[in-house]
Structure 1
């Protein structure tokens, strides 16, 4: 498809243009046409509809095409001083006079600086200015009444003057002028291509943007109204484009944009029941505001999008991995704990999980989160004992730039902000200092946080699950824990049973851990019945965590593939907890303790030596079996 059209008003220029097009190698880019004046206008409009982007033409035909308000650029083949010098030289040759009288019929675009040149070359020149093609016959009649020697002009002028019997000469353009015009047309074509690319980018941006986009001109008339704007304002673009912006979005102040040439960011505006936030940016060309771009969004949508981003981005870092089905056990105690956890998960209230270390408090917290409506949000776990008191507050609530020495330059959001629309798990809540407790109490009451060094609150939507392995009531009595915070936390409570009370679960867990660690460490260990019985007889003060770590250690270091009770005693590092002489039955153990005390006259040191355990272990077992020691002398 040709992008450049050459419209020649006469055959001579047509052939001249054809030759130069071939020399420049533009045959596949330029279409050639022979037409002048009004016919040239009709042809130009047809070519525009066919996709031609640049027209090359000359003289009066170029002038009338431009005045027809065609929307594509027209490159005029100029009439240069060299061309006019050639005309004046021919005038002397044709007339045989040293100073001929020449009448030139010309539109304004043909006569730049011609008077000076004619004086230099000795031509008595009279210029007849043409406003429109209809002026040509009258101007020729006027010239004919004078003693003019020669009439020069375009093709129509020459034809009409010749009919009057006047001597004529056609103004021609040299090859240099024609070549220059085609090269200029190529440059314009490239520039238009770039403009079209930019326009298409803006069109794509406007059409597929989630923001409403309105463009207005210098008169504040709407020129662009994108699909998002149609959807938000519930009005079709056909009804809006061409309207004043004040009729579309009333009460907008454009003074900052049009008079001060500044943009407006984050302005809140109400349209009926719709609240929008909008930006207004001026379009400045050569230091003049030629229009403005208005972008806007539904504030409710922004809030929803922000929550979605928080959930999707932050949740990648804060994910709850465990479910209630991952909690192994069939004892009545653990089944009841799982039932309560499932009920707790369905409501939004704060939860306090209590239990000894290693009973699975975080496992239950993650499971509650994954069973709850917040399961798609982040799960943020914080060990309050692992962070120093001076860092715990900044980690929980965040800080702004310059809040303290060593703070990140741009500040940092706290873990409560990161848990927005999700769950925050505060493990070992008893280790939180009194000041952090008071700030946590405010979060529970107000559901908003303030970063360190800031003066404004940030609303958060977060569920709190706290956990403790200490008796908080005792800490309250010792003035180490706030009573009002305690009652805020214990809205829902879940007390986890120690492993020693979970009938049959020690063997189930040991079997599970053995299978898991065999796979992980590429081993093939198996436990005999007496080995399982031995493990089941231990009271496991470290609960499930202690059992898990022991099984892993056993899988790694044991050289035997079949593990018996005796093998377990061999590899057990915590000798304090081994039953003496391999006894696994608790009743015989109590009997041996009583026997040892009797033999040693209740001397704790000697009795411990006899039992091959240390004094502290013996004291623990005395409390366990409720044995009172009465010394005899």
Structure 2
């Protein structure tokens, strides 16, 4: 699968997206609405896609489905909104706009500009829209036209009401692809930095432990794993005081000063530790502690003394 996947919730959006995607060599386009997108999104995540682009409720569902893939939501441009309302006005001035908030938000500003009576209803799913339409029909409300995305269009067709699709322009699709590319590039750089950092941590002879503000371990390198006899995977995410008896690291969360050259006993082994708070914007958000066998320090001192003779 290509690095960028567009999941279009309507065949017209799919058509536009494919025309734009033809200009790129790293973009795939598939058609799926709301829950139909879940299977496609999960497969894309499994195959290592770099970013997924979609719109409205479908984008929100995908965002909740995949955890490791960024989801870019295609915005509806002011031009798209004006064009859709202007087209809907041909059916009458009583326009009902139904859709997900991230798509139709802001359309109410066009009431005075285009001199139309716009009714806006935000939905959370297809059933929500169905209930709204039924209530309107039962109340005898005059509905000249329904405007919105695929859900609105399907409802309008079901109840034989004129409909106008709120489309996504090629410009919007293109800008979403560019944003996806930017995010993928940034993510790759961060991943490289993370891998380099891991390599350094696992190469150095000093043990390194870091915790977040909840006192849970977020860094636990190979050296400290060997010292304590605790596998790295079992340490990460656990409270540090459950792993290291009598540890003073959590206390560093309540201070701004470092504690350097402290002696610490692990079993029968004497350890020298340094404890440093992690401070961002004058707030301590975590702490780091390094461990080194005192015998290692003594060995280094002896070597230095020998070299200086």
State which of 201, 205, 208 in structure 1 corresponds to 2:203.
Answer: 208
Partner residue, 1:63? 60
State which of 129, 132, 148 in structure 2 corresponds to 1:139.
Answer: 132
State which of 214, 224, 228 in structure 1 corresponds to 2:219.
Answer: 224
1:108-187 equivalences in 2 (<5 Å): 108-145=101-138, 146-187=141-182
Deviations 1:577-607 (A, max 9, x none): xxxxxxxxxxxxxxxxxxxxxxxxxxxxxxx
1:343-422 equivalences in 2 (<5 Å): 418-419=308-309
Q: 1:175 & 1:262 partners in 2: Cα distance?
A: 55
Residues 193 and 261 of structure 1, relative CA distance in 2, 3 Å threshold: farther
Cα contact 1:55–1:72 (8 A) shared by 2: yes
Deviations 1:450-497 (A, max 9, x none): xxxxxxxxxxxxxxxxxxxxxxxxxxxxxxxxxxxxxxxxxxxxxxxx
Displacement of 1:215 in angstroms is 2.9
Cα contact 2:57–2:124 (8 A) shared by 1: no
Cα contact 1:265–1:279 (8 A) shared by 2: yes
Q: 1:287 & 1:71 partners in 2: Cα distance?
A: 31
Q: 2:289 & 2:72 partners in 1: Cα distance?
A: 36
Cα contact 1:102–1:123 (8 A) shared by 2: yes
Cα contact 2:157–2:163 (8 A) shared by 1: yes
Deviations 1:186-221 (A, max 9, x none): 111111011111111111112222111223222111
Residues 289 and 61 of structure 1, relative CA distance in 2, 3 Å threshold: farther
Q: 2:210 & 2:42 partners in 1: Cα distance?
A: 28
Deviations 1:154-204 (A, max 9, x none): 113211321111111111011221111111111111110111111111111
Displacement of 1:4 in angstroms is 1.4
Structure 2 residues not aligned, in runs of 5+: none
Q: 1:287 & 1:103 partners in 2: Cα distance?
A: 50
Displacement of 1:310 in angstroms is 4.4
Deviations 1:385-417 (A, max 9, x none): xxxxxxxxxxxxxxxxxxxxxxxxxxxxxxxxx
Partner residue, 2:3? 3
**TM-score, with structure 1 as normaliser:** 0.46
Does residue 17 of structure 1 match 2:11?
Answer: no
Displacement of 1:262 in angstroms is 4.3
1:317-328 equivalences in 2 (<5 Å): none
Q: 2:283 & 2:201 partners in 1: Cα distance?
A: 24
Instruction: Report the 3-state secondary structure (helix = DSSP H, G, I; strand = E; otherwise coil) of the residue aligned with 1:278.
Output: strand
Cα contact 1:40–1:61 (8 A) shared by 2: yes
State which of 272, 287, 292 in structure 2 corresponds to 1:292.
Answer: 287
Deviations 1:9-64 (A, max 9, x none): 112111211221233xx22x222211121121222122112111211111111122
Partner residue, 1:199? 194
Q: 2:144 & 2:257 partners in 1: Cα distance?
A: 64
Q: Compare CA radii of gyration and give the structure with the larger one.
A: 1
Cα contact 2:273–2:291 (8 A) shared by 1: yes
Residues 119 and 258 of structure 1, relative CA distance in 2, 3 Å threshold: farther
Q: 1:172 & 1:261 partners in 2: Cα distance?
A: 54
**TM-score, with structure 2 as normaliser:** 0.91
Instruction: Report the 3-state secondary structure (helix = DSSP H, G, I; strand = E; otherwise coil) of the residue aligned with 1:243.
Output: coil
Q: 1:292 & 1:46 partners in 2: Cα distance?
A: 38
Residues 46 and 281 of structure 1, relative CA distance in 2, 3 Å threshold: farther
Structure of greater relative contact order (alpha carbons < 8 Å, 6+ residues apart): 2
Instruction: Report the 3-state secondary structure (helix = DSSP H, G, I; strand = E; otherwise coil) of the residue aligned with 2:246.
Output: coil
Greater Cα offset, 33-42 or 301-310:
301-310
Q: 2:122 & 2:200 partners in 1: Cα distance?
A: 49
Q: 1:299 & 1:164 partners in 2: Cα distance?
A: 80
Q: 2:249 & 2:110 partners in 1: Cα distance?
A: 53
State which of 94, 97, 101 in structure 2 corresponds to 1:101.
Answer: 94
Instruction: Report the 3-state secondary structure (helix = DSSP H, G, I; strand = E; otherwise coil) of the residue aligned with 1:63.
Output: helix
Displacement of 1:309 in angstroms is 4.7
Displacement of 1:80 in angstroms is 1.7
Residues 188 and 208 of structure 1, relative CA distance in 2, 3 Å threshold: same
Cα contact 2:41–2:66 (8 A) shared by 1: no
Q: 1:261 & 1:143 partners in 2: Cα distance?
A: 62
Cα contact 2:255–2:277 (8 A) shared by 1: no
Partner residue, 2:45? 48
> What is the number of residues matched between the two proteins?
307
Cα contact 1:79–1:177 (8 A) shared by 2: yes
